[in-house]
Copies of this chain bind each other. A is one copy, B any other.
Amino acid sequence: MTPSSASTAQAPNNDFYAAHDKLYVATDCIIFGFDDGDLKLLIFKRRVEPDSGIWSLIGSFVKIDEDVDEAARRVLKEITGLEAIYMEQSKTYGKAERDPGYRCISVAHYALMRINDHDRELTQSHGAFWYTLQEIPKLALDHTEMVSDALDKLRRRARYQPIGFELLPEKFTIPQLQKLYESIYQRELDPRNFRKKVLSLKVLVKLDEKDKSGSKRGAYLYRFDSEKYQELLESGYNFEI
Interface residues of A in 37-77 (CB under 8 A from B): 62, 64-70
- Residue numbers in B under 8 Å from A89 (CB-CB): 91-92
Contact A94 B67 (CB under 8 A): yes
A65 touches B103 (CB 8 A): yes
Q: How many copies does the complex hold?
A: 2
Decide: A67 and B96 in contact? CB cutoff 8 A: yes
Instruction: Write out the residue numbers on chain B whose beta carbons fall within 8 Å of the beta carbon of A91.
Output: 89
Does A23 touch B at the CB level, under 8 Å? Answer: yes
A154: min CB distance to chain B, Å: 14
Chain B residue at minimal CB-CB distance from A14: B21
In angstroms, Cα B69 to Cα A22, docked, is 18
Q: Which of B24, B64, B68, B96 contacts A92 (CB 8 A)?
A: B68
A20 on the B face (CB < 8 A): yes
Interface residues on A, range: 20 to 34
Q: A113 interface residue, CB < 8 Å from B?
A: no
Task: Report chain B residues within 8 Å CB of A66.
Answer: 96
Q: Which label, helix, strand, loop or mixed, suits the secondary structure of the A interface? A: mixed
A66–B103 Cα distance when bound, in Å, is 10
Tell me the complex Cα distance, A65–B98, Å. Answer: 11
Residues of B within 8 A of A62 (CB): 23, 94, 105
Choose one: B23, B25, B64, B67; the contact of A64 (CB below 8 Å): B23
Q: Are A20 and B65 within 8 A (Cβ)? A: yes
A212 adjacent to chain B (CB < 8 Å): no
Q: Are B68 and A103 in contact (CB-based, < 8 A)?
A: no
Q: How does the 8 Å CB contact mask read for A1-26 relative to B, with 1 for contact and 0 for none?
A: 00000000000000000001111110
Inside 8 A of A23's CB, which chain B residues have their CB?
Answer: 23-25, 62, 64
- Smallest distance from the beta carbon of A239 to chain B beta carbons, Å? 14
Using A62-B94, A65-B96 as known contacts, list a sample of 5 further A-B pairs with CB atoms less than 8 Å apart, ordered by residue number in A: A21-B64, A64-B103, A67-B96, A68-B94, A89-B91
Which A residues form the contact surface with B (CB < 8 A)?
Answer: 20-25, 62, 64-70, 89, 91-92, 94-96, 103, 105, 107, 156
Which 6 pairs from chain A and chain B are nearest by CB? A68-B94, A92-B92, A92-B107, A67-B95, A67-B96, A65-B96
